[in-house]
Amino acid sequence: MIRNIYRKADELGWDGLSAVDRTAWYNRWVDDEMLGGVLTRYMPRERARMWIKDVPMKHYNRARSGIGPYADLVSTPLPSAYDIARIALGEDWTVLSGTLREKPNRCQVTDGQGQMLMIWGAPRNLKSLVWAGLNARVDALPSPIVVINLLQGERLTENERRRHQKVCELAGLAVRVITTRTTRSTSSGRESPPLRLPDG
């Protein structure tokens, strides 16, 4: 069932939907015999709706990033932490095993000589990214870098870009803006996402 929910979210372009549109789709999914119809055999309709919102869809973007319990159920994954590191920092950078964390997505990366704490997410999550970076500095973790990941087709205005840069500078955090795109899983595994150069 979760795989079907994720497939429908992919088809709708979930990241681009407004809160009102998302609410409408939660209601439609509850009324769908193959989704909500299964759940409402065991729970009230409103509880089924909340389950869809608070369980699979709460994990949706983390799962697409290869993180969390539902990562193997997505059909259009986002670039992995390894991909993000290569795009934002360069081909020599890779993820240190066992350091991947979520809420927000972050991990330690190395080029074989130095280490950094890479924290990444969408522009709308800037507050969480910056807060994680500040906490990393307080906790004496490797030097944090914020990576703002735009999906193909998304844009930041010049004012937004300057504001993001200024917020990170005031927090003492390095920042990169990159553009990536989703990929489609195949029977042989996940395709390598086309790598895009950092935007700045």
pLDDT tens readout for residues 167-199 = 999 999 999 999 988 765 433 344 444 445 455
Q: How confident is the model at residue 118 (pLDDT cuts 50, 70, 90)?
A: very high
What's residue 200's pLDDT?
47
The predicted-structure confidence for 18-50, as pLDDT tens digits, reads as follows 899 999 999 999 999 988 899 999 999 999 999
* CB proximity list for 182: less than 8 A, separation 6 or greater: 10, 64, 76, 77, 78, 151, 152, 193
Which pTM value belongs to this model? 0.75
For the chain, percent of residues with pLDDT exceeding 70: 91
What's residue 188's pLDDT?
35
The pair phi, psi for residue 27, each rounded to 5°, is -65, -40
Domain boundaries, the chain: 2-58, 81-190
Question: How many angstroms separate the CA atoms of 96 and 1, rounded?
Answer: 33
For the chain, percent of residues with pLDDT exceeding 90: 68
Average pLDDT over residues 143-148: 97
Pair 63, 39: CB distance under 8 Å: no
For 90, left (φ over 0), alpha (ψ -120 to 50), or beta? left
Q: What is the CATH number of domain 81-190?
A: 3.40.1350
